[in-house]
Amino acid sequence: MRSVKCLKALTAVSQTPIVHAAMSNDEQLGKGLRQLEAKIDDLIGVCRRLKEENDTLRGSRDSLLEEKSKLAEKNRMARTRLETIVTRLKALDKHQ
């Protein structure tokens, strides 16, 4: 059984070069170049999409950082006001 699998594999491999041998070197080179060009075009498309996504993410990050800064400032102001109210309440409680 194992030898049959090996024989099939060898047969498949031995037949492959015959098909390619029918093509001239120029045809093989042209086909290889077209395949390479297609892969490069795909990579260029991926790079463009990643750059757009990166730009979008950076914009989102900048907006979130700005929002975070504003919220931190509001939190600081609220804490200061609350501390002032607590101080006043303590002062009122001491006078009564």
Q: Is the pLDDT of residue 5 over 80?
A: no
Q: How confident is the model at residue 25 (pLDDT cuts 50, 70, 90)?
A: confident
- Vertex 42: Cα angle to 36 and 24 (nearest 5): 20
Q: Is the pLDDT of residue 75 over 70?
A: yes
Give the tokens for residue 69.
């800064």
Q: What's the pLDDT score for residue 20?
A: 54
| φ, ψ at 22 (rounded to 5°) | -70, -25
Q: What is the pTM of this model?
A: 0.56
Residue range 29-39: average pLDDT?
94
Extract long-range pairs of 88-96: CB within 8 Å, 24+ residues apart. none
As for how many domains the chain has, the answer is 1
Range of the domain at 20: 2-95
The mean of the pLDDT values for the chain is 85
Contact call for residues 32 and 40 (beta carbons, < 8 A): no
